[in-house]
Structure 1
Amino acid sequence: MVYIERDENGQIIGVFNAPQSEGSQYISPQAPELLEFLGQSNRHEDIQTILTASDMAMVRVIEDLVGTLIDKGVILFTDLPEAAQQKLVQRKKIRHHLNSLENLMNEDEGLL
């Protein structure tokens, strides 16, 4: 996730992985305003923050790609190195657990 802080004129003055204050705002890593700021920034930390956020999104893209290749029979799950298999299985379990928790919370909304 990418959070920004703005100056009194509404201009981005900092980019962070987590909120830094009550004034921190979430922003999409692809937001044109953010990309423009990073193009003008010389701060290594700003560029590293956006790269890290992009990496997290890219991980999901790669997971989905591998899943699609397996589903279509282009590759076999067992063709992947053992370490890759373990990581994919672990992430699938975590996502399943997270989805289960979200479904429980959504079901409870009608009770109140």
Structure 2
Amino acid sequence: MPFIKRDPTGQIAALFREEVVEATEYLPPTHPEVQAFFGTMAGNSNETNGSSVAEFRPDMMQSDLAMIRVYEDLIDILISKHVVVLTDFPPAAQEKLMRRKRLRSSFSNLTEALEITDEDGII
């Protein structure tokens, strides 16, 4: 998330968790346009414990993103210890887990390829 749908003026009109026909453009949750959209949705007049919902959203979103990684790692541990098997999950969840695992693996390989060590003599 989020895939975005823009209105005729180019502003974000809607956010979608998954890509759909009308929303194929992806922006990271921390992108200023996405943050502005959340602020517009929440409105600056909604008060929660003395601070506006719009101010609270970015912190909550960062926390959600960090927790997603924890959940991924937890699922990997449970699968490796044979507590659950991938096929215990619904097909849509299996697909998302495998796609995420491939994505993380590709970034891991890229990071290793770009690593510079003293042994290489590259500075």
The interval holding the TM-score normalised by the smaller chain is: 0.5 to 0.7
Does residue 106 (structure 1) correspond to residue 79 (structure 2)? The answer is no
Does residue 54 (structure 1) correspond to residue 63 (structure 2)? The answer is yes
Tell me: higher relative CO, structure 1 or 2? Use CA pairs within 8 A at least 6 residues apart. Answer: 1
Please tell me the residue identity of whatever aligns with 2:122.
Answer: L
Equivalence for 1:93? 102
**TM-score using structure 2 length:** 0.55
Matched-pair identity in %: 35
Q: What residue ranges of structure 1 are gaps of 5+ in the alignment?
A: 1-16, 20-38
**TM-score using structure 1 length:** 0.60
SS of residue paired to 1:87: helix
Pairwise CA distance, 1:107? 3.8
Equivalence for 2:86? 77
Deviates more, 1:102-111 or 1:78-87: 102-111
Within a 5 Å distance, the mapping from 1:14-25 to structure 2 comes to 17=30
Q: CA RMSD in A?
A: 2.3
